[in-house]
A and B are shown apart, each in its own frame.
Chain A
Amino acid sequence: MDNVTGTRSPAPEVDEHWMVNRRRALKWLIRAGYGAFALAFALPALALRALSQQQSEVASGDPLVYASNAGGGTAGQPVMASDLAVGDGIQAFPQGKDDNQTNLIQIVRLGDGEGAEGLVAYSAICTHLGCVVYADLNQDGNIACPCHNSQFDPTAEAEVTGGPADRALPSIELSVTPEGIISVAGRFSGPIGPS
């Protein structure tokens, strides 16, 4: 403190070489600081993948069970091919895989038939913004979405017939066990939901 008001002490001999080195060192230190800062952000970003929990996926052979108590069944009860009359639509999960909403399958009976004949199945997740479509067909016989009124024709591979969706609902093959329970016989024909 005395130096502030007192007489200036003679300037110390400045070692130019040393000064430059210190400045350089400080510059590198600052750069390293920036780098560490960036790295500190980059590493958690890599860990983002871990946020996505591993969720069950539909596999060939999964028997289907009612998703809810709507449509004449109770949630968790196996869906029988005989439960559906022509024009009926119900929604089902692969048994034990209802933790993942995107596994929801929309089953529609288009005509009478043995086994899986006359039955079609699509993903019940709208390709517009991921809402679940209505289980019941609308008055035009289309699968409709409650959110933005996208419509899909179940008789034509769920092609878009109205609304803002830009892609058909992915379809999935069905089979029927000897006991009459509907089960999955393949994979979805495309990505589920909006993409």
Chain B
Amino acid sequence: MTDQRGPAVPPVTIMPASEVRPGGRAAPRTAPRQVPRTGEGRRVAAPRAAKRDASRAGWVEERLDVTGLNAKYGRKAFPVHTTFFLGEMAAFAFIILIVTGIYLGLIYIPSSAPVEVDGQELPEAYASVRLIESIPVANLFRNVHHWAAHVMVLATLLHLIRIFFFGTYRRPRELNWIIGVVMLILTLVAGFLGYALPFDSYAVTATGIGYSIARSIPWVGNVAAELFFGGAFPTLGSLPRLYTLHIFVVPALIALTTAAHILLIVKNKHSQPGYARKLAEPGRVLGVPAWPYQALLAGQLFLLMFGALFILSALFEIHPLAAYGPPGPGTPAVKPDWYLLWVYGFLDIVPASLTLTTPIGTIGPQFIGGIVFPGIIFTLIFLAPWLDRTNRGRDVPRFEYLQPPAQAPVRLTIGVGFLTYIGMLFVAGYHVELGLSIAQTWYLSLIVPAVVMAATYGIARQRDPAWSRRFDPSAEEEDEEVLYVEAPRGDQ
């Protein structure tokens, strides 16, 4: 515990002799070892001046040990790379979602009970969202909330894709990979729960499909669906339940997993770009210090995102109530947002003949398309660190550096093939509009990824030096003008 601050910055303490510690014991009778940071290098001129100086910087310092905190965390090195902002973007989108969500929650009413508005009978939730739309600033916040949800899912997804292609999910970061995938699932769940809240025709249809999928789980489906949807959707019990899950339970889980995610980054150390290997000693982290440089960059990013989301929301209205209207007896032709469209696409092309009758119930295409298939996809993602053969064996104790994707052709090929397959499921979601039959869609969804994979592997295997150098950050290390701090690898 004595030497945990590391050698880079010696601990700075101000302790006038007259001060008494909270514990009641007298302060050690030694002269101040160093003056505050504001007057670095200056010797203490007179006891009176020292006392004034100390009382100015000392009150906070004594209680919070700011210099010690700075030495311990503020000097933490943040590696610099062009892709090291995606996770931060997701976190900032989450913060914006909470802020705008709190505002919307002041006006929104989670009730599907009918109320009469202008002679029209509407669900109370729908009427309250109409009120939100009629207040300019609330309408702006509703749009920001919706856009920020898209940004959060997209940033989380890109973050995951970046981690995958650079191979940094490997030892020792497997647990953080799993936490990250859990966070992606939670984000998707939060997005889906949000669908229900406006309680327009789209909301009732989309959530109703979710309810039917939940009900299709053999044996436990009915109970589980009624538990999560507050009875047979849509009932009066549905909205309060979905609302509570949307505004409290799932965000709380996201916040908890975010904390765990960041803790594990501190514990495992951030992975580093390839050039760090050349600039820093092995076992040391190369990057800019958390305070002030990384904090400044992150603050800029947050403000940029905040501004961009407001401009986006002001210019492009997203999902206005008038687009679908209040729920009626009919079902509008709806497709989910892009981040659930792949499930929709698979549900669209899953053959009806995939129906099994088992002792615990009937397993229909709904269960296979809506639960089993996404389950398989996410299981594969979860297992990536264990499916990766380079993660086996003990010749590399820790994978600290990004591996340029071109240097790992198999991983590159699998990743590209996986993404292409998901992309083909988007096509499957539109197969009717594109005039494709279900059989044609199946062939396409299997052939296109196979062709893309073969091409990717072929190109990567050629090891075209120009192509692989583009991905290799070590090629551009010469004229880096960033301030680097080497932080000790030990306990920070």
Is B328 in contact with A128, judged by CB distance below 8 angstroms? no
With known contacts A48-B223, A166-B365, A194-B216, A130–B330 Cβ distance under 8 A: no
A9 at the B interface (CB under 8 A): no
List residues 118-170 of chain A with CB under 8 A from any CB of chain B: 128-135, 145-150, 160, 162-166
Among all A-B residue pairs, the 3 with the closest Cβ atoms:
A146-B333, A67-B329, A132-B331
With known contacts A68-B330, A163-B352, A166-B364, A148–B347 Cβ distance under 8 A: yes
Q: How far is the CB of A162 from chain B (nearest CB, A)?
A: 8
Which chain A residues lie closer than 8 Å to B348 at the CB level? 148-149, 163-164
Partner of A91, one of B212, B215, B329, B347: B329
Is A93 in contact with B329, judged by CB distance below 8 angstroms? yes
Q: How far is the CB of A38 from chain B (nearest CB, A)?
A: 17
Is B227 in contact with A147, judged by CB distance below 8 angstroms? no
Assembled-state Cα–Cα distance A30/B332 (Å): 55
- What per-residue 1/0 map shows which CB atoms of B403-424 lie under 8 Å from chain A? 0000000000000000000000
Q: How far is the CB of B363 from chain A (nearest CB, A)?
A: 10
Assembled-state Cα–Cα distance A135/B230 (Å): 29
A21 at the B interface (CB under 8 A): no
B349 at the A interface (CB under 8 A): yes
Assembled-state Cα–Cα distance A147/B115 (Å): 29
Partner of A164, one of B211, B231, B236, B351: B351
Q: How far is the CB of A46 from chain B (nearest CB, A)?
A: 11
Assembled-state Cα–Cα distance A52/B230 (Å): 8
Is A129 in contact with B226, judged by CB distance below 8 angstroms? no
- Scoring A104, A129, A132, A150 by chain B CB atoms within 10 A of each residue's CB, the highest score goes to A129
Tell me the dominant secondary structure on chain A's binding face: loop
Which residues on A are within 8 Å of B, measured CB to CB? Answer: 45, 48, 51-53, 55, 67-68, 70, 91, 93, 98, 101, 104, 128-135, 145-150, 160, 162-166, 193-195
Is B366 in contact with A128, judged by CB distance below 8 angstroms? yes
Extra pairs beyond A101-B329, A148-B348 (20, CB < 8 Å): A51-B235, A52-B226, A68-B330, A91-B330, A98-B329, A128-B366, A129-B366, A130-B208, A130-B211, A131-B205, A131-B331, A132-B329, A132-B331, A148-B344, A163-B352, A164-B348, A164-B350, A164-B365, A166-B364, A194-B364
Which chain B residues lie closer than 8 Å to A101 at the CB level? 234, 329
Q: How far is the CB of A186 from chain B (nearest CB, A)?
A: 22
B334 at the A interface (CB under 8 A): yes
Is A194 in contact with B212, judged by CB distance below 8 angstroms? yes
Partner of A132, one of B235, B237, B330, B349: B330
Give the nearest-CB partner of B237 in chain A: A51
